[in-house]
Amino acid sequence: MKYGIVAFPSKQVQDFANSYRMRYDSHYAQLPPHITLRSEVETDEAGLKAVADQLLEITKNAQAFDISIPKVGTFKPINNVIYLKVDASEPLYDLNKSLHIDALGGAAEYQYVPHITLAQGITADELDDIYGQLQMTAIDFKETIDRIHLLYQLENGSWTVFETYRLQGTE
C-alpha cells in the first residue's frame, strides 16, 4: 500500500480549486485539494503504523503555519500542471524537512514547492489556455494550517485519511 502526508486547506480554497479540478485534474475523484507534505511511499500495514507513531512524535514539536495563496503557477515545461502557489511561513518548510527522514521513506526526490494542484493530465494547448485565464483571476487566500493528515491509498486508487495530527509546537 502507499501512504502520503498532506495538509488540507479551508473549504473556501477547496471549493475554488475544485471548480477547476473537476474539469482539468485527472486525479479529481481520488483526493480533495491539498498541499503535499510527503509524497507517496510504498509500505505495508506494520509500516503504516510505524509512520503513524513517528508522526505523533514529529507533530508534538511542529508549529502551525500561515499560508497565503496569491496566484497560480505551472510546472511547464517539465509537467503540464497548473497549481495555486502557496507562500508559507518557515514552519511549513521545517515540517516538510522533518517528514523526509529515513524512517518515513528518505530524502525528497525534488525541491519542495508548496502548491495546490488545479490541473494535470492536460495537453500543452489546454495548459496555455487555462493558465492564461487564471492569471487574470483575482486570487488572494490567507489562512493558518494547524493539522496534517496521514493518508493511504485504497485499491481503487483513491486516498483516505488514516490519522489526523494537530501541530502542537510553540514558537
**What are the DSSP calls for 123-149, one per residue?**
-HHHHHHHHHHHHTS---EEEEE-EEE
CA of 168: how far to CAs of 85, 91, 147, 164, 171, in Å? 25, 12, 9, 12, 10
Look up 115 and say whether it is catalytic: yes
Spatial separation of the C-alpha atoms in residues 76 and 107, rounded to whole Å:
24
Q: Please name the residues in contact with 93: beta carbons below 8 A apart, sequence gap of 6 or more.
A: 112
Q: Please name the residues in contact with 145: beta carbons below 8 A apart, sequence gap of 6 or more.
A: 7, 9, 35, 64, 65, 66, 67, 92, 167
Q: Which of 27, 100, 115, 149 is catalytic?
A: 115
Q: Which of 27, 34, 100, 149 is catalytic?
A: 34
And the C-alpha cell for 144?
A: 493558518
Q: Which residues is 4 bridged to in the sheet? A: 151
Look up 100 and say whether it is catalytic: no
Active-site amino acid positions: 34, 115
